[in-house]
Structure 1
Amino acid sequence: MPELQQLFNRHCKYIIYLIAIYVLGWGFTSYKTIFMGLILGTSVSLFNHWNLVRKTTLFGEAASSGKKMRSFGTMIRMCSAILAVFIAGKYPNLFDLISVLIGIMTAHAVIIIDFFLQQIFKSHIKREER
């Protein structure tokens, strides 16, 4: 599954760039709670994405060797999102709850945007080959 690892590496790079932008926003604007919420939510989103890629790789290895796998770690991903929301609720002076929720969805948005960009890039290359 090297293509899955390439996808994850690209997604990881984009998400880390977003976190860097959020850190700059936290440092240079007065919207500190919003950017801290985005940082927390996006960090959890990156962890969940990493966990899913790791479990998918393990599932592929187990399937090719004829073994069974227990789960894809859905509980861990849900618990990490719940923990982030709990932290935001516990410390509302540091984290904005809505920003945490938006941050948790960041990996999904990055995956969708990356998919469309790759499709546009592939169609552009095909047109140049003609």
Structure 2
Amino acid sequence: MQDLAEMFTRYRKYIMFLLAIYVIGWGFTAYQSIFLGLILGTVISLYNLFTLARKNKQFNEAIEEGRKMRSLGTLSRMAAAGLAVLIVMEYPDKFHLVSTILGLMTSYIVIMIDFFFQNIRK
């Protein structure tokens, strides 16, 4: 199995590439609220991926040392997603709700697509 840090680095590169495309779309198209929603959701999704990778590393270290781990941070990831939705609800003229929710799912979609391509590669 591949190292978690290697996979996280690859996911981070893909998400940054998507964010660059979203910023270009926001700057050069008439769909600014949709792209701004995608940017907001994807940034929160990237933050959630950071926290998940960090908690997973801590979990692995705790298992190696024989300690127990309380949580993998599900509540904080849900709170971050809730914050994104609250921002969208506060500024509905700037952000598009559906695109923000799609942006929140970006890291999971990237993980699934990467898994598919890595399996084809092997």
Q: Percent identity?
A: 54
Deviation for aligned residue 1:2:
7.2
Deviations 1:63-119 (A, max 9, x none): 100111111111100000000000001001111000100000000100000001111
User: CA RMSD of the aligned region, Å?
Assistant: 1.2
Q: Which residue of 1 aligns with 2:114?
A: 114
What is the letter of the counterpart of residue 28 of structure 2?
F
Q: Give me the whole-angstrom Cα distance separating, in 1, the residues matched to 2:25 and 2:102.
A: 16
Q: How many residues align?
A: 122
Q: Which residue of 1 aligns with 2:37?
A: 37
Misfit runs of 4+, over 4 Å:
none
Superposition map of 1:1-130 within 5 A: 3-122=3-122
What is the letter of the counterpart of residue 75 of structure 1?
L
- Tell me the TM-score normalized by structure 2: 0.97
Query: What residue ranges of structure 2 are gaps of 5+ in the alignment?
Result: none
- Tell me the TM-score normalized by structure 1: 0.91
